[in-house]
Amino acid sequence: MVVDDSVVIRGMISRWIGAEPDMEVSASLRTGLDAVNQIERIKPDVAVLDIEMPDLDGISALPQLLAKKRDLVIIMASTLTRRNAEISFKALSLGAADYIPKPESTREASAAETFHHDLIQKIRHLGARARRRASPAVSPAPAQAPDRIREVSPQPVAAPVTQLPLARRPFSMLAPRVLLIGSSTGGPQALMTLVADIGPVIDRFPVLITQHMPPTFTTILAEHLARASRRPAHEAVDGEMVKPGRIYLAPGGRHMRVVRHGADAAIVLDDGPPVNFCKPAVDPLFNSAIDVWQGSIMSVILTGMGSDGMRGGKEIVAAGGSVIAQDEATSVVWGMPGAAANAGICAAVLPLNQIAPKLVRLFSGDRS
């Protein structure tokens, strides 16, 4: 269900979705009020919901839509303004699954292409996960069937196959001197939870985070991380020295790397091309950290689409460091952490609420 007061945006998104073999547009609506009034008849799996609309805006429509269809996946769409970034974060706390920034102009080819790619991937992965969770172990009764838009195979909603236990590596015997974190879809919520409980780590060691997120949004995220952790957190600045007691966040639209600076480390912001379709990307941070801290690296890969962080994590492990991945049950999308886990590079694959206590123990000297 596409909900946007711009006929151009509605038409563009609807065409993109209609071109995909595993999804279709169940409705194209102009206002949040239209969506609320028609949600029970339409029964979509996913709603792409604009923020600024007449009659009823997106943030006001969000709780009403979820009240009428609890399992609805809502992706908030907005232009890149500070106000809309703040509203998008509020939407996440109210139950939205994710957000996506709309290009300022659909005539800007590169921006429209990125928006197209990201939107389709978010719909596909978030929608498929929601439908797997909603599917009962036995065949549903006929009365439940209309809740599904369309049965399609063999797209990625297929039942998971039985897998062998994932290989685990021992934690490094080297004392970690830095904490690196990578995240994407579902990452803001996961990061808030994590940093709130790793105060003892932040106080003694630097924490560097790459979250797949556009400019303006990372500015707001850094402010939220500072409040959640009760520690200094900010978007990294090119050339600044890396110090314990601080959280450094890769700014939207630029890769964050680190380089040696005497006995210390310094931030380098890279305006190069996307890596793994992302900018900022996790792999550049992970790979660059090896030259600075060698094997004394603790890295965490949280919820997110794709496989960003897996290759960098593999290099960290080869250098003597360790990788922890968030488990599938607590991930919004088990793409990035799943790629690391299935590659056999993780020392632990943990529920989100167990990662912080584990980190506190590891940075306090525990090596198991």
What residues are annotated to the active site? Answer: 184, 212, 308
**Which one, of 368, 323, 367, 319, lies nearest residue 345 by Cα?**
323
- Cα–Cα dist 144/304, whole Å: 30
DSSP 7-30: HHHHHHHHHHHHTSTT---S-EES
* DSSP state for residue 82 in the 8-state scheme: H
Is residue 317 a contact partner of residue 323, using CB atoms and an 8 Å limit? yes
Question: Which residues, other chains included, contact 78 with Cβ-Cβ below 8 Å and sequence gap of 6+?
Answer: 50, 51, 52, 58, 84, 85, 87, 88, 99, 101, 102
- Strands 297-301, 255-261: parallel, antiparallel or unpaired by DSSP? unpaired
Q: Provide the residue count of the chain.
A: 368
DSSP 141-208: PGGGGGGSS---SSSTTSPPPP-PPPP--PPPSSPP-EEEEEE-TTHHHHHHHHHTT-HHHHHHS-EE
* DSSP state for residue 254 in the 8-state scheme: S
- Strands 297-301, 28-29: parallel, antiparallel or unpaired by DSSP? unpaired
